[in-house]
Amino acid sequence: MELSQHRIVVTGGAGFLGRVICEKLRARGCDDILVPRRVDYDLTDAVAVERLYEDMRPDVVIHLAAEVGGIGANMDNPGRFFFANMAMALHLIEQSRKVGLKKFVQVGTICAYPKFCPVPFQEDELWNGYPEETNAPYGIAKKAALVMLDAYHRQYGMNGVYLLPVNLYGPHDNFDLHNSHVIPALIRKCETAINAGDDSMTCWGTGQVSREFLYVDDAAEGILRATEVMQEPIPVNLGTGYEITIKDLVELIAKLTGFTGEILWDASKPDGQPRRCLDTDRADSLFGWRATVGFEEGLRRTIDWWRQTGMHQTA
């Protein structure tokens, strides 16, 4: 698919990942990109979604919009996270079928994988167990969209793409201490401690669990490459294959930010899934994608953006 020849709607296009997707679409020569705003279109409402398709008349929908957050936000909002993410996918995919959309791209989540999935996570393991409990409602809602896309492909011939990006990070991320994911939260914790002259900071959990992280520009390129090439909603991981414990991550971010105080751990708080690391061979074989930004380089860019721009916007 030559994306520059099509009218493309990017839900969540004003967000962290969406803004990079839109930049990369423009770099590909796309000048017909539409970004629905929540104030105009409530994607959890079927009537609003129908009106969106009537107003915007897309050929392609890249669905990034989600209600999402870290462990704390997932624990506080399990019902809302399930409903909102399930409803958005349900209405958007059904309306795509009705209008004969050329392609629907669903960005899922690795929270859909089983809690004790063998590492590295392979796409064929997606159904071999229940997700980690703190984010299961969110992960299952996103996984249900895969089932819907597959069913619509088999019954109606609808072209769909389903991608499973690992935890994203980078400039313009959400740095709210309660709602953010781990990297922006840790960067802000370190910066706050440095500015306050604190001699220690406390982190959630034990630090023993591991995670994998993907720089936002790499994720955006993988999503667009899949949009260009894929027709069938086969689940495809997007990641780096590089795994790091939270303890080592905290120490690395402390080093890069210049925080030299003591790092304390609150083991009464949950760790989340024990390990996360993806097998990305499928993305390479199906559409020739591999991540290119090294982890320390990505962290430096993110810290620099926060210091130069982000912290002033949040203050």
pLDDT per position as a tens digit, 257-310 = 999 999 999 999 888 878 889 999 999 999 999 999 999 999 999 999 999 987
**E-assigned strand segments in the chain:** 8-11, 33-34, 60-63, 103-107, 160-165, 167-169, 200-204, 210-211, 213-215, 235-238, 244-245, 262-266
Residue 42 lies in a domain: yes
**Can the peptide bond before residue 120 be classed as cis, meaning omega within 30 degrees of 0?**
yes
Structure tokens at 145: 């969209």
DSSP reduced 3-state for 119:
coil
The residue among 276, 270, 165 whose CA lies nearest residue 212 is: 276
Give the pLDDT confidence score for residue 72 in this predicted structure: 77
Residue 109 lies in a domain: yes
Residue 10 lies in a domain: yes
Residue 205 lies in a domain: no
Question: Residue 23 is part of a domain; what is its CATH number?
Answer: 3.40.50.720
Residue 39 lies in a domain: yes
DSSP reduced 3-state for 79:
helix
pTM above 0.75, yes or no: yes
Give the pLDDT confidence score for residue 315 in this predicted structure: 52
> Using the 8-state DSSP alphabet, how is residue 309 labeled?
I
Residue 124 lies in a domain: yes
Domain that holds residue 127: 3-173+213-241+275-293
Structure tokens at 13: 């296009």
Residue 202 lies in a domain: no
The residue from 41, 113, 138, 215 that is catalytic is 138
Give the span between the Cα atoms of 267 and 220, in whole angstroms. 35
Residue 34: C-alpha distances to residues 77, 104, 265, 290 (Å): 29, 15, 44, 28
Give the span between the Cα atoms of 270 and 180, in whole angstroms. 15
Quick check: is 152 catalytic? no
Give the pLDDT confidence score for residue 181 in this predicted structure: 81
Give the pLDDT confidence score for residue 221 in this predicted structure: 98
Report residues of the chain scoring pLDDT below 50: none
Residue 311 lies in a domain: no
Which residue type is seen at 51? R
Cβ atoms of 299 and 183 closer than 8 Å: yes
**Can the peptide bond before residue 165 be classed as cis, meaning omega within 30 degrees of 0?**
no
Q: Write phi, then psi, for 305 (nearest 5 degrees).
A: -65, -45
- Count the domains in the chain: 1
Give the pLDDT confidence score for residue 69 in this predicted structure: 74
Residue with tokens 């409903």: 83
Give the pLDDT confidence score for residue 275 in this predicted structure: 85
The residue among 216, 204, 199 whose CA lies nearest residue 254 is: 199
Structure tokens at 185: 């939260």
The pLDDT tens digits of the residues spanning 101-131 come to: 999 999 999 999 999 999 999 999 999 999 9
Give the span between the Cα atoms of 224 and 77, in whole angstroms. 31
Give the pLDDT confidence score for residue 265 in this predicted structure: 96
Cβ atoms of 193 and 256 closer than 8 Å: no
